[in-house]
Amino acid sequence: MGLPMPLARVLDAVQGRRTRVHGEPAVRWLSVPQLVRTAVEVMQAASFAKFADKRETMATTPREFYRLPDPGREDVWVDYVADTGDGFDATFATARCVSGGASVPIAATGAGARPAQADLLVLGGDEVYPTASALQYELRFNEVFRAAASLDHVFDLPPVVALPGNHDWYDGLAAFRRNFCESWVLRTPAGRGDPVPAPIPVPPPAERDDVGGWGAFQSRSYFAVQLSPRWWLWAVDSQLDAPIDAEQLAYFRAARALLGDAKIILCTASPSWLEASGRELYSAEADSPLYTLLWFVDRVLGAAERHRVRLVLTGDQHHYSRYTCTDPVEPPPAAEPGAEPAGELAEEPEPFCPELVTCGGGGASLAATHHLPERLGFALQPWPSGSGAGVHYERRTCYPDVDVSRRIGTSQFLSAAWRNGPSLPLLVGAVDYVLFLAFALNWPLSWARAWQFWVPTVVVAGILYGYATSGTKERRSRRPRDRARALLTLGHTLGHLAVAALVALLAAALGDPPTAPWYVMIWAYPLLAVLGTVVFVTYLQIADRFGCHTLEAFSGLRIDGYKSHLRLRVAADEVEIHVLGIEEVPPARRAADLARVLPRVHLVESFTVPWSARDRAREAVPESA
């Protein structure tokens, strides 16, 4: 066990050493100033997105499709990382893995020799937190990845493509485009809006932009990359859960014409399928992310060819999970003889049953897995080209597993009280001080002065009801949602009233509260701040048990362990996916020598997605403990 950080730094100074501080610490998600800033930017981004879609301006950039060099290679390796830019330690651990500095335990499953670095790095969204800006990209992404790349001798700017997540969109995508989407000016002197009729090789290092030691080459926030003759990688930009814009649809319709008999690995910004929890078929609402995803697949591929989507990858949720199809949707019947075909059907029509994978463990604070539904079911309606049927999935794997996730939340929930800075206790203390004054200044309580007690109590209860509303799931049916809000508000209000009453009783022990010594009224505030914050984090823990406030309950813990990313081996007839986990992240931000900071990587699971949808996904390596 190491020395406490202050003592260690003193000893370093005595011995003539200096501890360097790298990058930025993890975001304090329950810090009040942080919450206010993020809320303002989210509202601004959502408002402007309704009137000005930045994706439409990308029509002026080249419509490029890419292919990896040497398409005849037997195996192509791809790394997938999402939700990276939270804090230095966890992001640096992941960066060392993808740059080849950490030992990756992939078993021999016919893959042959595994390269230290993949042929392509894919960033699946939320490259920076809490909100995007040029400075935040430099501090929370570029500096971290560049440090790992320099240690692991990453040269010639290996290729990287990136999909924006919701946090990348909070500045209108300005910083994301500056980092990832401007290298086309190095190779396109004129005619920049002209479509490219065929996939071009990934541009050489001289025509890539340096992003954290890696080479960005895409021209838009969405892209299509030919990994091999039989596999393409598509990434769809859904902005802030907005409908897919017409130019993007035209881009992927053009990409469809280049497919041949290839299948698709589809990257999206969020796991929209989680809307469809339960045994019954869920019909997505027109403004939901799941509707947007299904509509995109239908619009671009149609019912006859949607089976081409064999694997869907996403981040956004800061954990790993995989859902496997249990009831695939069969393709529509073949056309009658002499009729015009609806599209280029495969020789043997295949069902629609892509594997659904969430892997958002690239560096952001851990999200719970114990609320992930065990089963999913959603209808492929209401489009005329749909078969009218539905598809069912079951949860196969999650990391950390459900028991570990629940144990983390139960054992560490009190740590949220001090891991997010002083602003949270100060705010909670101010709210409880109002209730304390309602007790203290009307002591002893009487019916004649009851309104002086009930007015602030009702005001505080209203505030807590508004907070409870923000933590209940919008897509629940109305009655259970209202019941959950009422119970959460009642319990939360009673908890803070109990704290205020307890402190008022302590003040009464020193004399009549209205005439109590001044120091009693002053020292009541820090006591209220401490006890009130304990009530608040306990409320989050209890609410989390009922599926409410799940995001705040875990993000406030700022847990940097249980990171995960994917390493894909793309072969002609299958894609082999290795899920790599880092259970404990080594401290790196204050390390004197970053070269000594090496994460211990273990294999969570490996599974294979076959080229044909008639063959089900299979596990290549048993899930590790």
- Mean pLDDT over each residue of the chain, to the nearest integer: 81
- Residue 578: which residues within 8 A CB-CB, separation 6 or more? 104, 106, 566, 567, 568, 569, 603, 606, 621
Tell me which residue of 483, 428, 482, 487 sits closest to 460, measured CA to CA. 428
pLDDT band at 104 (very low <50, low <70, confident <90, very high): confident
pLDDT band at 190 (very low <50, low <70, confident <90, very high): very low
Residue 122's pLDDT is what? 97
Lowest mean pLDDT among 16-30, 31-45, 101-115: 101-115
pLDDT band at 517 (very low <50, low <70, confident <90, very high): low
Residue 323 DSSP SS3: strand
pLDDT band at 314 (very low <50, low <70, confident <90, very high): very high
Residue 233's pLDDT is what? 97
Residue 160 DSSP SS3: strand
Looking up tokens 């007015």 gives 455
Residue 605's pLDDT is what? 93
Sheet with strand 390-399: strands edge to edge:
200-201, 66-67, 223-228, 231-235, 263-267, 309-314, 355-359, 320-327, 390-399, 375-379
Decide: 90 and 364 in contact? Cβ < 8 Å. Answer: yes
Percent of the chain with pLDDT over 90: 32
Lowest mean pLDDT among 485-499, 560-574, 597-611: 485-499
Lowest mean pLDDT among 47-56, 381-390, 478-487, 578-587: 381-390
Look up residue 289 and give its two tokens.
């992310």
Residue 110's pLDDT is what? 46
Residue 330's pLDDT is what? 65
Lowest mean pLDDT among 38-52, 120-134, 167-181: 38-52
Lowest mean pLDDT among 97-111, 380-394, 595-609: 380-394
Antiparallel, parallel or unpaired: β 66-67 and 76-81: unpaired
Ramachandran bin of 562, using left for φ above 0, alpha for ψ from -120 to 50, beta for the remaining angles:
left
pLDDT band at 446 (very low <50, low <70, confident <90, very high): low
Percent of the chain with pLDDT over 70: 80
Can you spell out the DSSP letters for 235-268?
Answer: E---TTTPPPPHHHHHHHHHHHTT-TT-EEEEE-
What the chain holds in terms of domains, given with CATH numbers, is 32-333+348-409+561-621 (3.60.21.10), 421-555 (1.10.3130)
Ramachandran bin of 424, using left for φ above 0, alpha for ψ from -120 to 50, beta for the remaining angles:
alpha
589 or 270, which is more confident: 270
pLDDT at 16 over 70: no
Antiparallel, parallel or unpaired: β 214-216 and 159-162: parallel
Residue 123's pLDDT is what? 96
Rounded-to-integer distance, Cα 194 and Cα 589, Å: 46
Residue 207 DSSP SS3: helix
Decide: 278 and 377 in contact? Cβ < 8 Å. Answer: yes
Give all strands (DSSP E) within 315-409, no chain letters: 320-327, 355-359, 375-379, 390-399
pLDDT at 162 over 90: yes
pLDDT at 621 over 70: no
pLDDT band at 108 (very low <50, low <70, confident <90, very high): very low
263: which strand partners?
A: 231
Residue 508's pLDDT is what? 76
Residue 100's pLDDT is what? 84
Rounded-to-integer distance, Cα 487 and Cα 493, Å: 10
Average of pLDDT values for 173-192?
80
Decide: 321 and 357 in contact? Cβ < 8 Å. Answer: yes
pLDDT at 20 over 50: yes
Rounded-to-integer distance, Cα 558 and Cα 542, Å: 18
Q: The pTM is what?
A: 0.87
Look up residue 537 and give its two tokens.
């984090």
Lowest mean pLDDT among 433-447, 484-498, 590-604: 433-447
Return phi, psi of residue 533, to 5°: -65, -35
pLDDT at 54 over 60: yes
55 or 125, which is more confident: 125
446 or 209, which is more confident: 209
Lowest mean pLDDT among 7-21, 583-597, 608-622: 7-21
How far apart, in Å, are the Cα atoms of 593 and each of 363, 587, 590?
A: 20, 11, 9
Residue 346's pLDDT is what? 40
Rounded-to-integer distance, Cα 102 and Cα 585, Å: 12
Rounded-to-integer distance, Cα 63 and Cα 198, Å: 10
Alpha helices in 441-573 (DSSP H): 450-471, 478-509, 518-545, 550-555
503 or 509, which is more confident: 503
